[in-house]
Structure 1
Amino acid sequence: MPPLRSLEIEFPILDARFRRFCASHGIFSVEDFLVHDFSKLVSLAEAEAGPKELKEGISQILSIIDGQHQPWLNGVQLLEDTLQNKHFLSTGYEGIDMLLGGGLREGQLTEIVGPSSSGKTQVCLHVASHVADSHLGVVFLDTSNSFSAHRVACIINQLSGPLAKEVNERRVQRIMTGITCQSVYDIFVLLDVLHQLEFSLKVKSESAKTSVLIIDSISSLIAPVLGGKDSQGRLLMISAGFLLKKLADEYNLAVLVTNHMVSGEGGSLKPALGESWKSVPHVRLLLSRNQGSNIGNMSVLKHTFVACGDTAEFVIADEAA
């Protein structure tokens, strides 16, 4: 579903004044309306100057939502969609692929949580390199200057093995061309970028298929807007999660996000973003490694068919390589 500002030409009632009213309540797209109480929005509109136009705008949004419902699918159709469209994509790490039954699943949102320096970014860069090497497109949203073209080139060199210099340079160029990186520094820009990506996916040809969306790290965007008595931050978080899962399902993307850890009861570490976010990912993995070691340990915290607690070891390449 599109951002509000893209609808004004077709629906003039959704003008700049209506969008300012919506923005003041954390609403920037049609999807954002889905997590709001419509009756409360109408009450808030009645307290504004010119409430009639605002209420007509809300009614127009409801009509748009009603017109965009996806058709119901029966069990056979869902199974066919899974078998035909929701493939596994190898991460490039044999241990992780075996743990996940084949790798990252298209149509699913996978989250990697782990403490600082556990190797989350390195895993993301490795996945991006490996998928792009398979002639599939990768979108990498960098939220904290974690993307390093040099590190990607080092990973590709490790994947390539002993190739002639000229051949290896062409391979590096091809793989790097398959990775689109964009810096995103706040939740509002993230939502806008995701809506742009959705539009792009609708018109992009199969030959230029984007298969993986990586956000490293999503918690650095969401954590700053959480807390306090205002519920806007939580609504923004849920909106982002809803949109990511929608993109994954409708466009057969494998979505991979990272999340940092915070202190819990008794000083133990727990994933950031709280219980509301916990229900969003289809798959939640915990990454850890011993200090000074390049052996990573991935364990399953949540999965659709793999038992919680299952683990795998793999080698995390030296980031300075």
Structure 2
Amino acid sequence: MAPLKSLQQEYPLVDSVFQAFCASHGIFSVEDFLLYDVDVLISSAHKQSTSQRLNQGINQLLSIIDALHRPLLTGLDLLEDSKRNKHALSTGCQGIDALLEGGLRRGQLTELVGPSSSGKTQACLQFATTVAKKYMGSVIYLDTCNAFSAQRIAHFVGQSSDPVFNDQADHKPLQKVLDRIICYSVFSIFQMFDVLHQLEINLRSEMFKSDCQVRLLIVDSVSSLITPILGGSGPQGHALMISVGFLLKKLAHEHNVAVLVTNHMVGGDSGTCKPALGESWKTVPHVRILLSRDLESNTCTFSIIKHPSLASGRAASCTL
């Protein structure tokens, strides 16, 4: 959902005065408004000299949210939508595609978890390359660790068995792929919200042409942005984390985009490792995949931790 300032032109009640009032309560977007206690906000508005106008603004936001509610869907509706729109995107690795019954599913949020140096970024780069060249669509890549490498993209393109992309006379195949991968350097959770909100606006306005639709959204890594805000005793960090998950899943479902995020591992009970971000985040991804690497053979193993239709524990290996 949009920042409040983007609503002013269409909804005059959400004016600068109302936005300033909301900002004083840490509310800058519709998501922030949804997470805030409306009764507390109304009570605070009553204490202001412009209380009537502020209450009208609150009611205006509530009506906007009501209008955005999608109609209830039957199981048959969901099945038809899945068959028609939620296709799988190949990862470029036959073993992983077989493991996931086709690859990364459009409309779903897939999380790739693994320890440092397990190959998470390499997997993201290979998947981005495959989608950009095979489906001729756009890939949005949110790079939070300065890890994006055009050189690795070039390497993966050079490994392609597709003759179209190995024919150097065919209008520079590497340039075609790189033109379709749109990379943003994002170093804070608020920057990420700005990028995602703008992406949502662009998708709604059909800014991306039909022959270059956004197929894949990658966040590498989501945990590096969320972990710093989870400290302290306040609830804000947790609320922001849930908002990120909600927005990513909303983009995936409403615009038929495959979303891939990476997450690191932290120490758990009895010295074992577990995915970071805790129990609340665990419910966010549709699919969770554990990535591990054998340093001697340089083989990466992908194991299903969570999947809506496939059994946990299944695994496949490949070399990145």
Aligned with 1:112: secondary structure?
Answer: strand
What SS does the corresponding residue of 1:159 show, helix, strand or coil?
A: coil
Specify the SS of the correspondent of 1:248.
helix
Instruction: Please say if residues 7 and 14 of structure 2, whose CA atoms lie closer than 8 Å, have aligned partners that are also in contact.
Output: yes
Asked whether 1:219 is paired with 2:230, we answer no
Distance 1:44 1:225, change over 3 A: farther
TM-score, scaled relative to structure 1: 0.92
- The aligned amino acid for 1:199 is I
Structure 1 partner of 2:159: 158
Corresponding residue for 1:11?
Answer: 11
Superposition deviation, residue 250 in structure 1 = 0.6
Measure how far apart 1:41 and its partner are: 2.7
The whole-number CA distance in structure 2 between the counterparts of 1:140 and 1:236 is 20
Instruction: Report the identity percentage.
Output: 55
| Counterpart in the other structure of 2:293 | 289
Report the residue type matching 1:190 in the other structure.
M
Q: How far is the alpha carbon of 1:54 from its aligned partner?
A: 3.2
Q: 1:167 to 1:44 in 2, by over 3 A?
A: farther
> 5 Å matches for 1:212-291?
212-291=216-295
Secondary structure of 1:296 counterpart: strand
Residue type of the partner of 1:281? P
**1:146 alignment counterpart:** 147
**CA shift in 2, pair 1:164/1:274, >3 Å:** closer
Structure 2: distance between partners of 1:11 and 1:161? 51
Letter in 1 for 2:240: L
- The aligned runs of 1:28-177 (5 Å cut-off) are 28-46=28-46, 50-134=50-134, 135-160=136-161, 166-167=168-169, 170-177=172-179
SS across alignment from 2:259: strand
Q: State how 1:180-199 maps to structure 2 within 5 Å.
A: 180-199=182-201
Q: 1:298 aligns with which of 298, 302, 310?
A: 302
In the alignment, which residue of structure 2 is the partner of 1:319?
none
Q: Which moved more, 1:240-249 or 1:23-32?
A: 23-32
Give the gaps of 5 or more residues in structure 2.
none
Letter of the structure 2 residue corresponding to residue 136 of structure 1: G
How far apart, CA to CA, are the structure 2 residues paired with 1:78 and 1:28? Answer: 33
Instruction: Measure the CA separation in 2 of the matches of 1:154 and 1:24.
Output: 50
Shift of residue 225, structure 1, vs aligned partner: 0.9
Deviates further, 13-22 or 184-193: 13-22
Deviations 1:201-251 (A, max 9, x none): 122331221100001001111111112121111111111111110110010
2:318 corresponds in structure 1 to: 314
Given candidates 200, 203, 208, the residue that maps to 1:201 is 203
Q: Note the C-alpha offset of 1:267.
A: 2.5
Aligned length: 316
Q: Aligned letter for 1:275? A: E
SS of the residue corresponding to residue 196 of structure 2 reads helix
Deviation of residue 18 (structure 1)? 2.9
Structure 1 portions without partners, runs of 5+: 317-321
Change beyond 3 A, Cα 1:78–1:164: closer
* TM-score, normalising length: structure 2: 0.92
Post-superposition offset of 1:50 = 4.2
| Contact 1:157/1:168, CA 8 A, preserved across alignment | no
Query: CA–CA distance in 2 between the matches of 1:145 and 1:182?
Result: 10
Deviation at 1:124, TM superposition (A): 0.1
CA shift in 2, pair 1:175/1:65, >3 Å? same
Displacement of 1:24 in angstroms is: 4.5
1:190 and 1:137 mapped to 2: Cα distance? 18
Change (3 A) 1:150 1:28: same
CA–CA separation in structure 1 for the residues paired with 2:151 and 2:298: 19
Within 1, Cα distance between the matches of 2:17 and 2:191?
Answer: 21
Structure 1 contact 160–168 (Cα < 8 Å) conserved: no
Query: 2:22 — aligned with what?
Result: 22
Kept after mapping to 2: 8 A contact 1:86/1:105: yes
CA–CA distance in structure 1, aligned partners of residues 317 and 166 of structure 2: 31
